[in-house]
Amino acid sequence: MHLSTPENQTRYLLLVAGLGGLLYGIDVGIIAGALPYLEASAVQLWKLSSQQLGFVVAAVLLGSVLSSLTAGALAEKWGRKRLMFISGLLFSISIPVIALADGYMPLLLGRLLQGISGGLIGVVVPLYLAESLPAAVRGRGTAIFQLLLTIGLVLAAAIGLLVAHQVEQAARDTPAVLQAVQDAAWRRIFWLSLTPGLLFSAGVLWLAESPRWLIARGRPNEALQALRRTRHADEARAELTAISGQGEDSVSGQAQRDGGGLLQRRYILPFLLACLILACNQATGINSVLAYAVTILDQGGLSGSMGNVGDFALKLLNALMTVLAVVLVDRKGRKFLLMLGSGGIVVSLLAAALLFRGAEAGQADISTALNQRISANALQLDADTLHTLAGNDDYQLDIAYSYGPMTQVRSLRPGDTLRIAPPDYVEGDSVIGAAFRRLHLNPFPDMNAALQAPLQIERARIGPRPQTRHGWLVLGCLLAFIASFAVGPGVCVWLALSELMPNRIRSNGMSIALLINQFVSTVLAAAFLPVVSLHGYAPMFFFWAGCTVVYFLAATFLLPETRGKTLEEINGHFA
C-alpha cells in the first residue's frame, strides 16, 4: 500500500490503532481460556496456593489501574507516539515472561506487565486518535478501536476453545501425558497472542506524533507535517491555524498566563461529563454480563453446553454490532447512538429483571428450616430429603451459607446432595494484608476467623427450575442488551473520553476518567455474586437498569453533539 496520499495515511493510522484495541481485548480475555490449565500446572508442578493464583489473575487489573493513573502524565511528557510504542513493547515482553515462567514470581511479573500495557493503551490510543484524525472520520476511527477490542475478546475465546479441544483429544488418546499437555496448553495460548503485540509495536514506528502535542511543545513546523499526512495541504494549514488560535488552551496561551485556570467552566464541565459517561458506561453491567454470562443463562434455564453456546453468541454479536456502530457513528452522531443504545439497554435489562422476578417468585424460603437442621456446626441433606423439601421432581435449590467471613454459594438440582462442614484450613492472610488491617486500611476481613465461626444459612430458596423456554427468553434479553450496548455506549464511550475534554487537560483528565470507569467495573463485578446469592438476580438487573436511565438522561440533556467538529470547536461549546 502506498502511503503517499492522506487517505492511505489515515487507513494506516487506523490499522495500527486498531491493533491497539486488539491488544486491549486480548489483555482482558486471554486468561479465561488459559486459567484451567494454568491452575493445573501451578498446583501440581509449582505447589502454588489458591491465594497466589488469585494474585496472578488479578495482576492485570492492578497493573491497569496503576498505569491508568500515570498514563496521562506520561503521554504529556513523552508524547503519544512514544507511549504507544512502549505499551506495545511491554505487551510483547510480557508474553515470553509468562509463557516461559517456571514459578510464581515470573508469572506474576508477566501478568502485571500485561495489565500495565492495557492501562496505557486504554488511555493513549483513543487520545492519539482524537488528536490526529480529521474531524470527518474521527468518530469512525475511534470506533475501530472498540471494534478491534471486541474482536480481541472473540479471538481470545477462539484460541481458548481451540486449545481446549486439543487437550480433550490428548486426554482421550494419551491420558498418561495429560499433565504435560495441560502445561503446554496454557503456554501455547499466550504464545499465540504475541504476534499482534509485535505488529502494533512495529507499526507505531511509522506513525507521526500527535499534532496538538507538538504545538503544545512549540513545534508548529512538525505539527504541520503531521497534519499533512492525513489531510490535504490547505486543510492542514487551516487546522494548524485553528489549533494555534486556541491560545487559551495551549501551554503558551492564556491558560498559562492565568496560572492554569483549571477551575474554569470550560474545563470542569467537560471533565465531569466525561467522568459521568464513563461511570455510567460500566454501571450498565456490561462487564458483569460478559463475565458471568454462562452463570446467568444457567440460572435462567439454559444449562450445560447451551449456556456456552449462548455465551459465544453474545461475544460474536458484540463484534458484529460494533461493525454497524463504526458505519453509523459519523453519519448519525454520538448523541443519537448513545440515546438509542442506552434506551435499548434499559428496556432489555428491565425485561430480564422481570423474567428473573417471575422465576424467583415461585421459590420458597427454607433458610429457617435449614438453620434448624444444623448439627455439630455442619449440615447434611441427602437427595431424597431435598426432593421432599422441594415437593416436585424438577427443582433447584439456591443456597448461600457462611462461616464468619467465608461465604459460599451453591446451586443444587435433583440427584444432588448437600454437605456443609466447617473448614479445617483456609489460605493464610498475607503479611501485607494483615499489616494494613492493623492500621484499619484493609477493608477485607481475616479469613482465619472462619475456622472458629458458627455455620449460618444466609439464604436458601427452593422451587421449580426455570424451563428451557425461559432460558431462551433470558438469552434474547441479553442479546438485545449486547446489541444496544455495542451500537451506542460501546463505541461512543471512547469518543466521550477523548473528544469532550479540552487540549489543556485531555491526557490527565482521560486518565482519571478511565480510572473511574475501571473502579466502577471492579466494584460491580465484585458485588455481583454476593448480591445475587442473597437477593436473587432480579434486583441486580433492576439496579443496572436504573443506572442506565441516568445514562440516557445524561446523553439526552447534557452531552453535546460532536460529529464533524474539530476538538477546538467542541472546546468552544463549553467556553
Per-residue pLDDT of the chain (575 residues; tens, 9 = 90+): 456 788 888 888 888 888 888 888 887 777 666 766 776 776 666 766 555 666 676 677 778 878 888 888 898 899 999 999 999 999 999 999 999 988 878 888 998 898 899 889 988 888 898 888 887 777 777 778 878 888 888 887 777 777 777 777 877 777 777 778 888 888 888 898 899 899 999 999 999 999 989 998 889 999 999 999 888 888 889 888 888 865 444 433 444 444 445 566 777 888 888 888 889 998 999 878 877 787 788 888 887 667 767 877 888 898 899 888 888 887 888 888 999 999 999 999 999 999 999 888 878 888 888 888 898 899 998 888 888 887 777 777 888 888 887 777 777 888 888 888 888 766 545 555 566 556 665 555 666 777 888 998 888 888 888 888 999 999 999 999 999 999 989 888 777 777 777 777 777 777 788 788 878 877 787 677 778 877 889 999 999 999 999 999 998 988 887 776 776 676 776 66
**Could you give the CA distance from residue 528 to residue 540 in angstroms, rounded to a whole number?**
7
**CA nearest neighbour of 307 among 287, 293, 290, 291:** 293
Are residues 390 and 462 in contact, defined by beta-carbon separation less than 8 angstroms? yes
Q: How far apart are the first and last CA of the chain?
A: 42
**Could you give the CA distance from residue 146 to residue 25 in angstroms, rounded to a whole number?**
9
**All three cell numbers of 512:** 482519571
- For β-strands 364-365 and 455-464, DSSP reports them as antiparallel
**Could you give the CA distance from residue 251 to residue 156 in angstroms, rounded to a whole number?**
42
Contacts of 53 (CB under 8 A, 6+ apart): 38, 39, 42, 43
pTM of this prediction exceeds 0.85 = no
Contacts of 531 (CB under 8 A, 6+ apart): 539, 540
3-state secondary structure 154-200: HHHHHHHHHHHHHHHHHHHHCHHHHHHHHHHHHHHHHHCCHHHHHHH
Around Cβ 8, how many Cβ atoms within 10 Å?
14
**All three cell numbers of 52:** 497466589
464-467-469 Cα angle (round to 5) = 155
Are residues 329 and 498 in contact, defined by beta-carbon separation less than 8 angstroms? no
Contacts of 268 (CB under 8 A, 6+ apart): 262
**All three cell numbers of 402:** 457462611
**CA nearest neighbour of 508 among 275, 215, 258:** 275
Domains observed in the chain: 1-207 (1.20.1250.20), 364-424+448-467 (no CATH)
**Could you give the CA distance from residue 210 to residue 481 in angstroms, rounded to a whole number?**
36
Radius of gyration of the chain, Cα coordinates, nearest whole angstrom: 26
**Inter-helix orientation angle 135-173/305-332, to 10°:** 170
In this structure, the dihedral spanned by the alpha carbons of residues 205, 208, 213 and 215, taken in order and rounded to 10 degrees, is 140
Reduced to 3 states, what is the DSSP secondary structure of residue 404?
A: coil
DSSP 8-state secondary structure symbol assigned to residue 248? G
**All three cell numbers of 463:** 422451587
**All three cell numbers of 154:** 472473540
